[in-house]
Amino acid sequence: MNPREPSGARPGPAFTVTFDGRPLEALPGQTVAAVLWAADVVSWRSTRVAARPRGVFCGIGVCFDCLVTVNDRPNQRACLVPARPGDVIRTQEGTGHAH
């Protein structure tokens, strides 16, 4: 079942963002994290020390585990930042400033 079903959501037209080059469908109002979860992506950061994958943990902007690079700006909290048409979302390696 689509998790949008119980609330009867009829979102506006979907738009496209990319995640590590792959086009993903996004809905108006969704955060970057919601777009990624809807595409069954649950990790988009690799940690600074052990290079382990991370994604959403607290979901409300407290834990900073979901940091991601959006349009070349690293360290964006995916659970807070709204997705916008054409966003280029990339997995964040370490601090995101390595390049």
The site for another protein (CB under 8 A) is made up of: 1-12, 27-31, 33-34, 37-38, 42-43, 47-50, 52-65, 67, 77, 79-82
Nearer to another protein among residue 5 and residue 99 (C-beta): 5
What is the smallest separation between the CB atom of 40 and another protein, expressed in angstroms? 8
Contact between residue 45 and residue 92 where contact means Cβ atoms under 8 Å apart: yes
Rounded Cα–Cα distance for residues 22 and 2 (Å): 22
What is the smallest separation between the CB atom of 35 and another protein, expressed in angstroms? 8
Torsion angle defined by CA atoms of residues 16, 64, 50 and 18, in that order, rounded to the nearest 10 degrees: 10
Tokens of 43: 């990790």
- The residue count for the chain: 99
Nearer to another protein among residue 34 and residue 89 (C-beta): 34
Tokens of 27: 């809905």
What is the smallest separation between the CB atom of 22 and another protein, expressed in angstroms? 17
Rounded Cα–Cα distance for residues 86 and 90 (Å): 13
What is the smallest separation between the CB atom of 95 and another protein, expressed in angstroms? 11
Nearer to another protein among residue 18 and residue 71 (C-beta): 71
